[in-house]
Amino acid sequence: MGEVRLDGKVAIVTGAGGGLGRSYALSLASMGAKVVVNDLGGAMDGSGSGSDMADKVVDVIKASGGEAVANYDGVETVEGGKNIVKTAIDAFGKVDILINNAGILRDKTFVNMDEQNWDMVVAVHMKGAYCVTYAAWPYMRENSYGRIVLTASAAGLFGNFGHANYGAAKASMVGFMNVLKLEGAKYNIKTNTIAPMATSRMTESYMPPEIHDKLKPEFVTPLVAYLCSEDCEETGGIYSVGGGHFARIALMECPGYTQAVDKDITVEDIKNNFEEINSLENMKYYASLSEENVDIMTKIME
Ligand code: NAI
């Protein structure tokens, strides 16, 4: 069981000016990767830009003997995604690792969730992951190597009051990953998703102060760094990570209830069998739509 190293690898970390992203960037650099530290330097709600957050992280990496370059583009435009990847290509010639981490928060109960709050959060998390990954993908394909980490949230995977925009955008990472894992398979591009828990400017007001020390970003980073390494062969995994806890989360399907279609299916058939339809027993994991469809077709044809 040797040391996990990233020597010779080029990594992009979006939103790496603070919080989790900063910790990822420092860790990847300490493991030998050359790092693009992206951050547009705005406020937690996505307003403003231009602070020197990315530069400060680059300075820390360089002071420790690592290699890093800053980028200040917003992730949510195709142009921004292209520039972020161009920064990696211009400085280091390739891109091996992409951590889609940039994020903002705009809490509102759904009754107050106006279009601007919806669009902005969806743009940074969902379109942002698309824009940067889309720009990096051809380089990863060409080199037959890629490690991509997407950032979801328990707020979307399980639900959280006031997070309709954020939860929807974060849960979408799973759908995005499920397709990338298939399309990247023959190019050795592995895509995984995390649902982190850590104290940062985004979360410190939600978390009781006595738990802050237990939830340092540094306790999330080792799993993310492993997912970014050549040692990691996993793709399509979702991981709950924070405070020293690491666990797989999975979308699964239960056997359910199948009724022959040689006669009409009534609403009462559903009512009478709802317990079986709704049961969470004997779940099964499917690695793709095709696998799931084969099982359903088999049941239908029996
Ligand atoms: P943070 O607010 O410290 O970090 C987010 C970073 O993204 C900031 O430095 C910000 O300047 C940057 N950013 C925002 N919009 C950007 C844009 N358009 N382009 C480039 N950079 C941009 O928050 P934290 O906690 O470190 O969050 C990191 C990621 O983890 C986010 O995606 C967040 O939604 C997610 N997350 C965090 C959790 C936690 O417990 N801290 C829980 C679940 C998810």
Residue among 243, 241, 270 at smallest CA distance from 257: 270
Residue 232 in this model has a pLDDT that exceeds 90: yes
Pocket flag, ligand 1, residue 169 (CB < 6 Å):
no
Task: Render pLDDT for 34-54 as a digit per residue (tens, 0 to 9).
Answer: 999 999 998 888 888 877 999
Pocket flag, ligand 1, residue 39 (CB < 6 Å):
yes
Among 200, 218, 238, name the best residue to mutate to test ligand 1's pocket (greatest count of ligand atoms within 8 A of Cβ).
200
Residues 24, 72, 145, 166: which is the catalytic one?
166
- Rounded distance, CA 35 to CA 66, Å? 9
pLDDT reported for residue 239? 98
pLDDT reported for residue 47? 87
pLDDT reported for residue 9? 98
pLDDT reported for residue 42? 87
Pocket flag, ligand 1, residue 66 (CB < 6 Å):
no
Residue nearest to atom 34 of ligand 1 (CA): 103
Name residue 120's amino acid: M
pLDDT reported for residue 64? 98
pLDDT reported for residue 209? 85
Are 60 and 49 contacting, i.e. CB atoms less than 8 angstroms apart?
no
Pocket flag, ligand 1, residue 40 (CB < 6 Å):
yes
Pocket flag, ligand 1, residue 198 (CB < 6 Å):
yes
Give 163's strand partners: 108
- Tell me the CA–centroid distance for residue 261 and ligand 1, in Å: 49
Task: Render pLDDT for 145-179 as a digit per residue (tens, 0 to 9).
Answer: 999 999 999 999 999 999 999 999 999 999 999 99
Residue 24 in this model has a pLDDT that exceeds 90: yes
Decide if 166 is catalytic. Answer: yes
- Rounded distance, CA 232 to CA 246, Å? 15
Pocket flag, ligand 1, residue 164 (CB < 6 Å):
no
Instruction: For residues 6-22, give the mean pLDDT.
Output: 98
Residue 1 in this model has a pLDDT that exceeds 70: no
Task: Render pLDDT for 262-271 as a digit per residue (tens, 0 to 9).
Answer: 999 999 999 9
Task: Render pLDDT for 74-84 as a digit per residue (tens, 0 to 9).
Answer: 999 999 999 99
- Tell me the CA–centroid distance for residue 103 and ligand 1, in Å: 4
pLDDT reported for residue 2? 86
- Tell me the CA–centroid distance for residue 17 and ligand 1, in Å: 9
Residue 234 in this model has a pLDDT that exceeds 80: yes
Give 97's strand partners: 11, 147
Closest approach atom of ligand 1 to CA 44: 2
Instruction: Copy the structure tokens of residue 176.
Output: 């995005």
- Tell me the CA–centroid distance for residue 19 and ligand 1, in Å: 7
Residue nearest to atom 3 of ligand 1 (CA): 19
pLDDT reported for residue 203? 83
- Rounded distance, CA 95 to CA 109, Å? 39
pLDDT reported for residue 205? 81
Are 18 and 43 contacting, i.e. CB atoms less than 8 angstroms apart?
no
Instruction: For residues 128-137, give the mean pLDDT.
Output: 98
Q: Over pLDDT 70: what percentage of the chain?
A: 100
